[in-house]
Amino acid sequence: MEDLLNKFPIEDTDELYHLINKLKYISQSYTQHVDSVTSDLIDKDFLDEIRNVVMCGSARVYFGKTLRNLKIVIRDDTGLRDHELFLEYQSPRKIVVTKAKLPYSPEQSREYKCLEEVIDTFKKCINDLERYFYELEQIDQFCTIMEPINASFKDDYRRILLDPRTWLHVEVTPEGLATNIHLVGQSVSWHNKLQTGLLKWDHDKNIVDNVMSIFDLSSFPQPATMCSQNVVPGDEVEDAIVCGICLCAELPDVPGVPQPLCQNTTCGVYYHRNCLYQWLVACAGSRPPAFGVANGTCPTCLQPITCSEKDS
């Protein structure tokens, strides 16, 4: 282009003719390129749909790596929360949801004919989950979450730190009610409080308030204050708890983080449930135990220990 421009002003008509032809060639090849890419990826109707959604403001739309990958952001009726939905345009009138930070529902695995259908469906889902979002936000704000790591609205449970050896497992239903509440780790005093406290559960109060009154807490323990004697001043690195068997915090093939699984209250070692279970099965002669509960001795304190195969 530059040497073409350098030739201005053009006196020779031949040169002008060449220039025009060259420009024509460049513009044509460019247009063809754009046309082929667009028609290859999404159809015009879909582009119009996107335009309509953006114009009426029912959701914000972003393109991903290709025109086929879309992120839409839907705001709920309270106006407090934005929810991201990742979509893929597979073919005309066939859109699927690839990722959503929402608890699983069948709406996430069906196909949609148009963008508006996706937005209408998920707006309803999101507004129905108002109480669910609220309860999880409260838990995440006030409690120390041991699991899941980087919890989001996709995860419908939380494991709350009660003390270094005891966590409280709580699941939240889509309606925002607590369910399957139990302790991870062995502690008689926490256990007794939980058993009597569950009978007095007040459904008019939120989950955090109920948990606080069950365990007589004025605030939730923070990991920093609990291991303050181990913290070297100026040492910002937070040590992750490692498993007493594999000596890792996270393993690619092992779900979850190490937990206080030993029933001996003076044994402070954490294990991955899978590591401990496999260890006990191997010690017992590699025969899988009945009912998925392995018995044996703790590899650290050598006291009797039981471990179920599946996390409840």
Residues contributing to the site for Zn ion (CB under 5 A) = 243, 245-246, 262, 264, 267, 272, 275, 298, 300-301
216: left (phi over 0), alpha (psi -120 to 50) or beta: left
In the complex, the smallest distance separating the C-beta of residue 206 from Zn ion, rounded to whole angstroms, is 35
Which strands form 166-172's sheet, in the order they lie side by side? 145-147, 157-163, 166-172, 178-184
Residue 98, C-beta contacts closer than 8 angstroms, at least 6 positions apart: 69, 86, 87, 88
Of the pair 118, 262, the CB lying nearest Zn ion is at 262
CB-based contact 103:153 (threshold 8 Å): yes
Of the pair 19, 249, the CB lying nearest Zn ion is at 249
In the complex, the smallest distance separating the C-beta of residue 223 from Zn ion, rounded to whole angstroms, is 20
Rg for the chain (alpha carbons), in Å? Answer: 29
At 4, the amino acid letter reads L
What three-state secondary structure class fits 284? coil
In the complex, the smallest distance separating the C-beta of residue 200 from Zn ion, rounded to whole angstroms, is 33
Pairing relation of β-strands 157-163 and 145-147?
antiparallel
In the complex, the smallest distance separating the C-beta of residue 290 from Zn ion, rounded to whole angstroms, is 23
Of the pair 85, 280, the CB lying nearest Zn ion is at 280
In the complex, the smallest distance separating the C-beta of residue 261 from Zn ion, rounded to whole angstroms, is 8
Backbone angles phi, psi at 68, to 5 degrees: -80, -20
